[in-house]
Each structure stands twice: as C-alpha cells, then as structure tokens.
Structure 1
C-alpha cells in the first residue's frame, strides 16, 4: 500500500509535468557536470502545480513523506517539503518536534536553494522560535545555527553538502525577522550566523549562493527590523564584505541611490 501511494504520486507528477520545463529547469538549477545541481532530476512540474498536489496528498503519513523526501526527483522532494510545512504549521508541539527532527535527519536531501528557501525558515526557524528563548548569542538555538554554518560541522562533506548546510543556517534566520518578534535580540541572530561564516576561511563561504542568501537576509533585516543596525553591521564588517560584491549589492538594494553609491564606492 505504501509503495502504491508513492507510485501514484510519482505518476501524478509526471502526468502534469512538461519536458520543455524540465529542460529549462536543468539549466536554471545548474545541472551540468561539476555544478551544484549536477545530480538532480527534474520532471518539469511548476510550484503552483505542486501546491495543488499538496491539497491531494497533505495527509500523507510522515514515513511516506520521508520516503518522498529521499527521492532523486526534485519535484518529489519539493512536494514532500510542502507536506511537511503544512503539517508543521497545523501540528501541535509534539508534531512540530517530530517534523523538525525528520527534517534534520534528512537534511542532505534538502539540497537546492529553492527547497531550502521554501522550507528552512518555516521548519528550522519557526521550531527554534518555539523551542528556545533566543535572547543571547549563548542561547542553544543560536549555537545550533552557528554549528550548522560552521566549517567544523562540514568535515567529511563534499562542497555541495557544505554549501546547502550554510544556506540553511542563513535563511532559517528569516523566521526571527517576522513580527511579532520573539524578543528584541532574536532578529539580530543573522549577524551571529554571518560573523561565524566570516570568521572561517573555507572557499565555499564566498560562493555566489552564500553571498546571495546572506545579502538577502541582511536586506530583509534592514527592511523589516532596523536599517541603522544593518548599516552598523556593514560598517563593522566592511573589510570582509567589500570583497563579496554580490552580498553587498543584495544587502543595500532597498537603500536610496545615494546610499547605495556610498557603499559600492567605499
């Protein structure tokens, strides 16, 4: 019966997917040899189509959802994450913890920037908001994210695995910037995570996808929390940030033209 439902889902996805979109996705998600999406398989399902499938399969058991998340097919992993998010948001405290632990257990399968951006804030970030006080840099929740972001956590992992773990740590902090804030300190956790990354020398820390995620979260911080604190962070870390032009451009995107020119020419 379990295999039947998973086969049904696989066939359902294939039946409404398009070959042309699958080919486009292979290029968009960098699936050429040596690139970050090299091993991914695409059917050509769109995100709106996946959300419509969620309505059909939202009650899939956790064990089957985990199997779906282990699929080599990108869109099957996407649907699995949509199911996990749906059940996390509607679940009680015990269910949320169960889904959080399942996510961590299978974190190596959350291995594309779109899957991470969709799920990390809504599962990792939201769970940490519930579980921990998030009142200081010594809080267990902050230490958890810094550990994920750390090069020490990446020993024995290939460059793509390290890339995705760091992006998960960065993007998870978006949950702390959403009002109502957990407390005054929680939104500032993005600074702690980035300081951890800045302090280490792995080349992956300056990868385009890390710079984009970092700049995006800083931009959101400036827009949603405190632009003055964002500028202070940029100033204090400018010797490192000025070498990462993508990060800088993303982080200052919502500033005035004059301010953007100031930072770009600094």
Structure 2
C-alpha cells in the first residue's frame, strides 16, 4: 500500500526527476522562479504520483504546499483536486476549500490555480454565497484574481454564467497577462452556454479588454462577428 505522507510524495517525485528536464519544467512558472526550485519532473508525470497519494491527510497536503519545489506544490494542488472530485473525500470539501484560501500564497502560478480552483473553490461555493470570489477579484495578488475567474468553471458547467461575466467585467482591464488570458478563455466558454450574454459583455467591456483577451473571447464567433467586435 502506498504510504500517504508528504515525504512519500516527494520521494516518488525525486525518483522520476531528471536534471535534463529542469529548464523545460521551469518555463511553466510564469513570474520567474524566485525562491521556487524545480526537480525536473514533467508536469504530466506529477499527476499519476498525486493520484497514487490521493488519500493524503490535510496536514500532509499542507506540508507539500510548504515545499520550495514547484512539482511538489503541483502534486498538492492535484491531490486537492482529486479529493474534491471524489464522492467521499478523506478531508471534506470545506476543509480543502479553506486550505486553498489559507495557503493561496503557495498556489502562485497559473497551472496551480487552474488545477484546483474549479472543484475545490467553485464546487464548494456552488450552493453557497459567492461573495468570496468577488473578494478574490479585488485582491492585489494576480493568482487570487485568476482563482476568482477560474473557479467559475464549475458554475458554467452547470449552466450558470452570471458570476463569470460579472467577475470578468470587474477585471476586464486587469494588468496581469495571466488574468487577462483567463478572462478571454472563460467568457468564451460562458458564451457557449449563453451567446447573447457574451455579445452583451463584449459591447459593454470590449474596449477595456486586451487584444489577446478579445481574440480569445471571440475566436469561436463567425469571421464577420469576430471582426465587428475586434474593431470596437
């Protein structure tokens, strides 16, 4: 039986790490590594390790989040996601949600957010007041602002697009490229559920979107409509 400890997760990752992969892995960390280090484990290889340790207790997940290694923190995000998706989570969705928010300083890259936010944050808030997302949207931290957008994927899947458009309206002029990319992608996805809401959003806020966000938001429209909105 696989040991369900943070040490076991890190040992499993070290066993498959390759120095030759360090540069490749490091390029995924958007704002520069800073104090973060990489082992050299391809991100796709992190997930099977996380799956094998999906029963990790909450305290052990917290220890993974303490790690200076990017891949170890990615494993923590993936374990939280696996547990949130499970019908019987070993830690409970509320505890995972609170851990995510309490340790958001360690979830400090776009893919760490994207891996865990939809099911850990979005799923938890689905039948609850959604004010925490608007608090996150007002943060000075771009990764918290990205969480505010990305967590709404869970709502979109259920056909609820109001919060996606509202939060993206708040953040339409955001200065961080990875928040802008989230906006472009998520309003496009919400627009697949409600095309007219997307058109209304673009009429109201298209002039505040970056060119990249606008391109992403309109890429599934007809060429004529796409050109119309891009000329606003």
Structure 1 stretches lacking a partner, 5+ long: 133-139, 155-161
Question: How far apart, in 1, do the equivalents of 2:132 and 2:56 lie?
Answer: 29
1:74 aligns with 2:53: no
Residue in structure 1 matching 2:189, options 197, 220, 223: 220
Is contact 2:122–2:154 with CA below 8 Å preserved after alignment?
yes
Residue in 2 that maps onto 1:124:
121
Is contact 2:9–2:50 with CA below 8 Å preserved after alignment?
no
**What RMSD over aligned residues (CA atoms) do the two structures have, in Å?**
2.1
Following superposition, the deviation at residue 5 of structure 1 comes to: 4.0
Following superposition, the deviation at residue 118 of structure 1 comes to: 1.0
Is contact 1:146–1:192 with CA below 8 Å preserved after alignment?
no
1:47 aligns with 2:43: yes
Is contact 1:167–1:209 with CA below 8 Å preserved after alignment?
yes
Question: 1:77–1:15: structure 2 CA closer, same or farther, 3 Å change rule?
Answer: same
Q: What SS does structure 1 have at the residue aligned with 2:117?
A: helix
Question: 1:239–1:220: structure 2 CA closer, same or farther, 3 Å change rule?
Answer: same
Structure 2 stretches lacking a partner, 5+ long: none
Question: How far apart, in 1, do the equivalents of 2:188 and 2:32 lie?
Answer: 25
| Matching of residues 1-266 of structure 1 within 5 Å | 5-30=5-30, 35-90=31-86, 91=88, 95-130=92-127, 132=128, 140-141=129-130, 143-150=131-138, 153-154=139-140, 162-179=141-158, 181=159, 186-198=160-172, 205-223=174-192, 225-241=193-209, 244-266=210-232
Question: How far apart, in 1, do the equivalents of 2:59 and 2:204 lie?
Answer: 47
Q: What SS does structure 2 have at the residue aligned with 1:237?
A: helix
Question: How far apart, in 2, do the equivalents of 1:94 and 1:24 lie?
Answer: 33
Count of aligned positions: 228
1:158-191, CA deviations, whole angstroms, 9 ceiling, x for partnerless residues? xxxx111111111111111103x3xxxx321112
Question: How far apart, in 2, do the equivalents of 1:234 and 1:145 lie?
Answer: 22
